[in-house]
Chain A
Amino acid sequence: MQRKAQIKVDKLTYHYGTGPPVLKDISFEIEKGECIALIGQNGAGKTTLAKHFNGLHRPSSGKVYIDGTDTASMKVSELARKVGFVFQNPDHQIFHDTVAREVAFGLKNLRLSPREIEERTAAALEAVGLAEHRQTYPFNLSKGQRQRVALASVLAMRTEIIVLDEPTTGQDFRESVQIMEIVRKLNENGHTIIFITHDMSLVARYARRVLVLCRGEILADGDVRSVFAAPEILKKTYLRPPQITNLAQRLGRHSIPPGVLGVRELYELLVKMRREKIGCCN
C-alpha cells in the first residue's frame, strides 16, 4: 500500500551561519496520524530538526515537504496553518492580559470569525483543564498552568500536525501525564504528533515510533519496542531505555522479550512464565 507522506525530509543538512553542520544528510518520512517521539542527548539537533517542520529553520541543503509542498516556498505564518509548534518556555509567547485572549491570538491571525474564535478558545481551554481560568491574568498562573495555556493556544489552531518541544519539562508527574493524555487524545482524533522529550518512560507510554538523533544523524528509526530492545544503540547517544525495559532485559536471558514497555506487561509475562514453569522462575 503506497501512501503519500505528510512530512517528507529529503537529505536535509543544516548549519547555523558558517558553523559545523547540526543536521547531516537526514532523510525520513512521517505519515498522517503517527505519534512520534524525537529523542537524543542535548545538542543532538532535535529542536533544530523540529523547527524545519514549520519553516523556522530553512534547510542549508536538501528539502522538507509538508503535504507535498516544499517548505522553502512558504512563510512561517502560512505553515502555521498546517503545523502547530508548542515551545519549551511558555513565557516566550504569553503577552495578553487574560488566558482567553492569549489562546485567541493565533486564531485572530488566522482571520477566523469571532464566533469560531470563541468556540475554539473555549474548547481548547476545556481540553487543557483551564476552563475556569478564562479571565485570569496568565502570570498569576503557575508555570505548569502557563505551559498548558501555551499548549491550548496551539491546540485551538487545530493544525493537522502538532510539534511539542519538551512539553513536560518542569512539570510534576501528574501534570506530565495530564499533558500527555491531551496529546494522546489529539492523536486519536487524527492529528499527527511529534514530541521531543528526555523522559523515556513517556516515550514508552505514549509514542508509537521513535526517531533517535545523535550528533545530527539518525541513529535509529522504528517502533518503540524495537528501538528500546537495542540498548547498545541508545547508549551511543547516552540514553537508556525505561527502567522497566532495562529490568526485563536483565531478567530476560531466557524467554522475556527485550522490548517490554510497561510494568503491567512485564508482570503478566512473569506470571505466565511461572504458570508454565519455564526459565528461571518457579
Chain B
Amino acid sequence: MAAVTEYISRNSPIHRLNPLTKMIWALSILGMGLLFNDYRYLLALLASVLLVAAAAGVLRSLLPAAAGLTVLALVLLLVQALFYGQGQVLFYLVPISNRLAVTGPGLLSGLAMAARMMALVLSFLIFLATTRTRDIVLTLVEKLRVPYDYAFMFTTALRFIPAFLSEVRQISEAQQARAYAVEGWNPVKKIKAYAPVAVPLVLLSLNKADQLAMAMETRGYGGGRRTCLRESKMGTADYALSAFLVLLLAGSAAARLAGYGLM
C-alpha cells in the first residue's frame, strides 16, 4: 500500500502555489467544515475539495485513501443515524421488532458528519500531496516563525510514516516466508501473534532514530543560527487566493451568525 502522506510530483497550478496559500486553504476548509452542520453545505465543501484534488492531478492517487475514509464515513453515518433519536422513523435496522430506529434527520446529520470528516482529512492530504516537505519546513520557519526544532519534528514524523509502513511490509513478508500465519479469532492469541512483527519493528525504529540523531549531529544540527538557501516567495496568485480564502471564511462566519447552514 502506498503511503498517503507522501508528496506526489506533478506540474499543476496547485503544486506551484506557495505552501502558505495551501495551508490557508486547508485551514479555511477546516473552519468552514466546523462552522456549518447542514449536510448540503458540507457536501458542497467536500465537492470543492475533490475539485481541487482533480485540478492538482492527485485525485487518482488519493482514491485508496478516500476509499478507506469512506468506510469510516459509513460508520459515522450509521452511528449518527441510530443515536440521533429525533424525527420521523424511516425504517428499523432490525425489522419487525421496532428496534434500532433510523430517522430522517438522523440520517441527514450522519451524512453531514461523514462529509465534514472527509472534507477535512482530504484537504490536509491534498496539502501534503502537493507540497514538498522541505517547502513546508521553509514556510513554517520563514513565514510563520515556527522554531526550526518543531518544524523539523513535524516533518520527521511525516517522513516516518511511509518508512514505517514499508518496514511493516518487509517484516511481515520475512515472517510469512518462515511459514508464519496469524490464525484464529482468539484475541489474546492474536495479540501474541503480532510479536514476530512488532518486536523487529520496534528494534529497527529505535535503531533508525539513533542513526538519524547521529547523522543530524555530524551535519551540525543545532550548531547555531540557521540560514536558508532558498526563499519562500508569495506570487500575485498567492496573495489573491489567500485574500479570497480569508474573505470567504469571514463571509461564512457571518452567514453562520445570520443563521444559514444550520439544521
Q: Which residues of B contact A80 (CB under 8 A)?
A: 176-180
* Known interface pairs A94-B200, A139-B203; A56-B167 also in contact (CB < 8 Å): no
Verify B200–A77 contact, CB threshold 8 A.
no
Q: Is B88 an interface residue (CB 8 A)?
A: no
Which residues of chain B in 189-236 are interfacial with respect to chain A, using CB atoms and an 8 Å cutoff?
A: 195-196, 199-200, 203-204, 207
Which residues of chain B in 157-186 are interfacial with respect to chain A, using CB atoms and an 8 Å cutoff?
A: 167, 170-171, 173-181
**Would you call the interface of chain B mostly helix, strand, loop, or mixed?**
helix
Shortest beta-carbon distance from B174 to chain A in Å: 4
Verify B174–A105 contact, CB threshold 8 A.
no
Q: Which residues of B contact A54 (CB under 8 A)?
A: 177
A-B contact count (CB 8 A): 71
Shortest beta-carbon distance from B191 to chain A in Å: 15
Q: Is A263 an interface residue (CB 8 A)?
A: no
Q: Is A87 an interface residue (CB 8 A)?
A: yes
Count residues of A near B (Cβ-Cβ below 8 Å). Answer: 29
Complex CA–CA separation, A51 to B167 (angstroms): 16
* Known interface pairs A91-B203, A92-B167, A92-B170; A105-B196 also in contact (CB < 8 Å): yes
Count residues of B near A (Cβ-Cβ below 8 Å). Answer: 21
Complex CA–CA separation, A106 to B177 (angstroms): 9
Q: Is A69 an interface residue (CB 8 A)?
A: no
Complex CA–CA separation, A245 to B121 (angstroms): 59
| Nearest residue, chain A, Cβ from B177 | A85
Q: Is A28 an interface residue (CB 8 A)?
A: no
Q: Which residues of B contact A95 (CB under 8 A)?
A: 195-196, 199-200, 203
Q: List 11 A-B contacts (CB under 8 A).
A: A17-B2, A56-B176, A81-B179, A84-B177, A87-B173, A87-B177, A91-B203, A95-B195, A105-B178, A105-B196, A110-B179
B-binding residues in A (CB < 8 A): 17-18, 51, 54, 56, 75-78, 80-81, 83-85, 87, 89, 91-95, 105-106, 109-110, 139, 153-154, 157
Extra contacts, 5 of them, besides A51-B173, A81-B179, A87-B177 (Cβ < 8 A), are: A92-B170, A93-B175, A95-B196, A109-B181, A139-B203
